Amino acid sequence: MNRTVRILARREITSRIRTRAFLLSTAAILAVLVGYAALMLLVGQHGSALRVGFTGQATAVATPLQHSAAELGVHVQRRDIPDQATGERLLADGRLDGLVTGAPDALGLVVRSEPNQALRTALDGIVHQQAIDAELAMAGIDPTDVHEDVAGARVQVRSLEPADPQLAQRLGMAMGAGALLYFFLIMFGQAVAQGVVEEKSGRVVELLLATVRPTQLLAGKVLGIGLVGLVQFVVIGGIGLAAAIAAGVLSLPSAALAGTLLWSVLWFLLGFFLYATVLAAAASLVSRQEDLQSVVTPVMMVLVVPFVIGAALLPNEPDSTVGAALSLVPGFSPVLLPMRTALGVAEPWECALAVLLNAAALLVLLRLGGRIYSNAVLRTGARVKLADALRPAEPRRIS
């Protein structure tokens, strides 16, 4: 790497990574991730557990109720209560979520305000079963024999494609990877554009270009900000994955998690250099921060499209042909392909081809972006027309 570019990149890194905004944004995002993981862990441990008391003959239905509630996704913590008055006192104190009373054929449920729907459904099922057993006994039929016959009755299911038990986790990881890439590409791409305009409006660029070439200044700025973004991306992505694993949200194989993170890092680098080059060139066309949005918005809109497509298309059709085709398009790949990789539907040849296509597009954009930047960055005042900026470079002079 050119020594001048390294010096310029180091200047960008040191000037940005020590800023309060960078440190506060990193700390805030990490706090949100860790807090969310802790909340999920707490909900997973306690959110679906119901503390239910049983008194008198109702203790006979405690085990069947636990089994029925578990099928509805609710864990029932059993507590045997000596009498109904004690149970109601515990309810009033908030130490019970429900109190089951009465005989098995005449059950009652006492709650503080509104009953849990799953608990009520499970109890209704037990009451219905008790009523059916009573009718069978009165008809001279052994309920046990009927239960055995009913238990053996099953619908025969044949699947043409095996279900993926980890699909929900893969989908969550895909959405997370896509959102993280989209957010970071926009945030640090915008930082490059703002930096260009700041140096141009403050006439700092004129001093810098007295000793370095425009393409070196552009390369140093993009590389420096990109490395700052990479550090934050890896830290936040890695800690986010670790927090999700600790909270039990993700239980995918380590190879799948590591592969998604590594591919996301690669696509962040490719996507950032691609978009940052375009944004830097676009920003060099204007001289004021007020005019910046008019030139960067079209580029940002291109970045929005693949994320919207991925969020709308991939959850319902992970192996969509449209999604596969669009994920190979340079500019779309940095967001779409990591999402498809996390879902496990991207073929190795697709990943390799997308990398090559995006690398080729980057080389072309570096050439065009460098020309635009070189021709426009020293022109102050009115917005520089794109056609003028694309013309062959004239001998450089500072005005």
Q: Could you tell me the pLDDT band of residue 397, with boundaries at 50, 70 and 90? A: very low
Distance (Å, whole) CA 183 – CA 135: 63
Cα–Cα dist 321/345, whole Å: 11
* pLDDT tens-place string over residues 281-314: 898 888 888 888 888 888 888 889 998 888 888 8
Share of the chain above pLDDT 90, in %: 11
346 in the same domain as 206: yes
Answer whether 175's CB lies under 8 Å from 311's CB. Answer: yes
pLDDT at 398: 44
Verify that 236 and 307 share a domain, yes or no. yes
Q: Which two tokens stand for residue 105?
A: 């054929």
Domain count, the chain: 2
Tokens standing for residue 268: 């962040």
Same domain, 116 and 246: no
Distance, in Å, from the CA atom of 222 to the CA atom of 8, rounded to the nearest integer, reads: 10
DSSP lists the bridge partners of residue 80 as: 54
Encode pLDDT of 28-62 as tens digits.
777 766 665 566 555 554 445 788 999 988 888 88
Q: Would 23 be classed as within a structural domain?
A: no
| Radius of gyration from C-alpha coordinates of the chain | 31
Give the model's pLDDT for residue 374. Answer: 84
For residues 364 and 222, membership in a common domain is answered with yes
Spatial distance between the Cα atoms of 326 and 357, rounded to a whole number of angstroms: 12
Q: Quick check: is 308 in a domain?
A: yes
Domain shared by 141 and 196, yes or no? no
Pick the range with the lowest mean pLDDT from 42-46, 194-198, 238-242, 353-357: 42-46
Helix or strand run (H / E) with residue 210:
none
Mark which of 145, 176, 205 sits at the end of a domain: 145
CATH number of 117's domain: 3.40.190.10
Is pLDDT above 50 for 153? yes
Same domain? For 275 and 129 the reply is no
> What average pLDDT does the structure give for the chain?
82
Give the pLDDT of residue 325: 92
Question: Which of these three, 95, 115, 145, is where a domain ends?
Answer: 145
Residues 222 and 324 in one domain: yes
Report the C-alpha gap between 41 and 70 in whole angstroms: 19
**Residues 28-65 as b or e (16 or more Cβ within 10 Å = b):** ebbeebbeebeebeeeeeeeeebbbbbbbebeebbebb
Q: What predicted TM-score, i.e. pTM, was given to this entire model?
A: 0.69
Of 312, 362, 365, the closest CA to residue 334 belongs to 362
Same domain? 181 vs 128: no
Q: Which residues lie closer than 8 Å to 154 by C-beta, 6 or more apart?
A: none
Residue 322 inside a domain? The answer is yes
Asked, for residue 93, whether it belongs to a domain, the answer is yes
Range of the domain at 96: 48-145
Per-residue pLDDT tens digits for 205-233 = 777 777 888 888 888 888 888 898 898 88
In the predicted structure, residue 148 carries a pLDDT above the cut 80: no
What's CA 82's distance to the chain center, in Å?
49
DSSP 133-179: HHHHHHTT--HHHHHHHHHT-------SS---TTHHHHHHHHHHHHH
Residues 194, 122: one domain? no
Kindly state whether residue 171 falls inside one of the protein's structural domains: yes
Same domain, 141 and 176: no
The answer to whether residue 97 sits within a structural domain is yes
Same domain, 207 and 310: yes
Residue 185 lies in a domain: yes
Q: Which of 110, 145, 180 is the last residue of a domain?
A: 145
**Positive or negative CA dihedral for 300, 301, 305, 307?**
positive
Say if 12 falls within a structural domain: no
**Is the Cβ–Cβ distance between 45 and 87 less than 8 Å?**
no
- Whether residues 203 and 326 share a domain: the answer is yes
